[in-house]
Structure 1
Amino acid sequence: MSGLVQSKIDGDGVLLRPWQAADRAAVRAGYADPDIQRWHCVSMTDDEAREWIDSWSDRWCKETGAGWAVVDVAGMGEVVGQISLCRLNLHEGLAEVSYWVLPAARGRGVASRALSSVTSWSFAELGLHRIEVCHSTMNPVSYGVARRAGFTAEGTKRGEIRHADGWHDMHIHARLDTDE
C-alpha cells in the first residue's frame, strides 16, 4: 500500500476520492452534526479538520488506515460524507470501516453504496480477507447500512465503546472476500 498512490474508487453513483485541503468545511460540518457527534464523539475546529485531512496521507503511507471523501456524482461533485478503513492490518488481511453521511445526503443509500465500493476495492486491491463494521446497538441506521452492503451480523460486543451518554454495546458485522 505504501508504494501505491491512493486511488479514487468509482462506485454506484458515488466517487470515493482522497481528502483535499479544500474539504475542511465538509469535515467540520460532519463532525458538528449532532447525529454524527452522537456516534463519533468528535467535533473539530478548522485547524483540527486540516490536521485530520492531512493525517490520512500519513496513515496510508504507514499502512495503518485509508480515508476517502464520499462525493455524490449526481450532486455537482460535492462531498457528502466520509468512509475510512480503520484498524487496518494488511498482514492479517483485516480492516474495520467507519463512515458518516452529511444530513442533506441521508436516505439516498450513499453510505451503503460507499461501503460496498470500498469493500470490493479492498478485497481486489489490498487483498483483504475480512472487513468489519462495528456500530452501537442503539444505531439502527448503521445496522441497515451494513446489511444493505452485504455484511452479515455476527454478534454483540458488550460495553465496548464509550459515547457521550455512556458505554454502548456494539453490533459487529463482517464480509469476507469469499462471501458472494
Structure 2
Amino acid sequence: MRDRLDLPGGLRLRPWQPSDVRAVLGAFEEPVMQRQADAPLTSTEAAEQWLCRRRKQWLDGAAYSFAVTDGEDMALGGATVSNLNLEHSTGWISYWTTSAARGRRVASQGCRALVEWCFAELALFRLELGHRTDNPASCRVALAAGFAVEGLQRGKLVYDGVRHDVETHARLATDTPPREAPGPHRGPGP
C-alpha cells in the first residue's frame, strides 16, 4: 500500500510521524481548530498522544490519516479517511489546515489525493464528508475534490450552545474526477 504521494505545487501526503508534534500542537492552538481534535491538544504530551492514535488507527486499519506537507516536509494540514465500512466500500473524509497554509490549496490538493488513494488502495466506492454551513471554505474544498452536495442535516452539531446545520457531500469511484480549479481556499476545515 502506497503511503506517500506527491501532489501539485510541491505538496506531499505522508503518514503522520513523531517529528510533527510541534506542527500539530501549533495547528490546534487556534480556537476554531480545537474542536476538530478528538482530545484537547494543549501540551507536547497531548500532541504526541494524538500522533500515536493516528499511527495505531493506521496499523489497525481503522482510519488512514495523512499529513499534507510542503517541500521541506513541514506539516501544513491533514487529510483522513475514517469510519471505514469495507462491506459497503465506504469511508468518511475529513481535512484541515494550519492557519498559515490557508489560501494555498493545501486542503483541496490533500483531499483530492486522499480520495484517489482511497479508490485505488482501499477499493472504496463511496466517500462522504460534511461541513458546517457557516464554513464556505470547507465547501469549496469538497467541491474542488469532486464531492457532490447531497443534502442538509439540520441542527446536527452543537458548539458553545449553538446548533449548526451540516451540508453533506459524497463522491463515488465512478464519478468523473474534477478538473483542476483555480483560486485560493480559506478556512480551517469541516
TM-score by length of 2: 0.84
Q: Name the residue aligned to 2:120.
A: 124
Q: Please tell me the residue identity of whatever aligns with 1:137.
A: T
Three-state SS of the structure 2 residue aligned to 1:113 is helix
Q: Name the residue aligned to 1:15.
A: 12
Three-state SS of the structure 2 residue aligned to 1:32 is coil
- For residue 105 of structure 1, report the CA deviation from its aligned partner: 1.1
Q: Please tell me the residue identity of whatever aligns with 2:75.
A: V
Q: Please tell me the residue identity of whatever aligns with 1:34.
A: P
Q: Please tell me the residue identity of whatever aligns with 1:134.
A: G
Query: Which structure 2 segments of 5+ residues have no match?
Result: 177-190
Q: Please tell me the residue identity of whatever aligns with 1:19.
A: W
Three-state SS of the structure 2 residue aligned to 1:26 is helix
Q: Name the residue aligned to 2:59.
A: 61
- For residue 163 of structure 1, report the CA deviation from its aligned partner: 2.1
Q: Name the residue aligned to 1:25.
A: 22
Instruction: Give per-residue Cα distances to partners, 1:84-118, cap 9 Å, x unaligned.
Output: 11212222211111111111111011100100000
Q: 1:50 aligns with which of 44, 48, 63?
A: 48
Structure 1 residues 84, 38: closer, same or farther in 2, change over 3 A? same
- Give structure 1 regions of 4+ aligned residues with deviation exceeding 4 angstroms: 38-42
Q: Please tell me the residue identity of whatever aligns with 1:145.
A: V
Q: 2:80 aligns with which of 77, 81, 84?
A: 84
Contact 1:31 1:42 in 2 (8 A): no
Q: Name the residue aligned to 1:144.
A: 140
Instruction: Give per-residue Cα distances to partners, 1:3-37, cap 9 Å, x unaligned.
Output: x5x61122223211111111111111111113323
TM-score by length of 1: 0.89
Q: 2:130 aligns with which of 128, 134, 138?
A: 134
The percentage of counterpart residues that share the same residue type is: 37
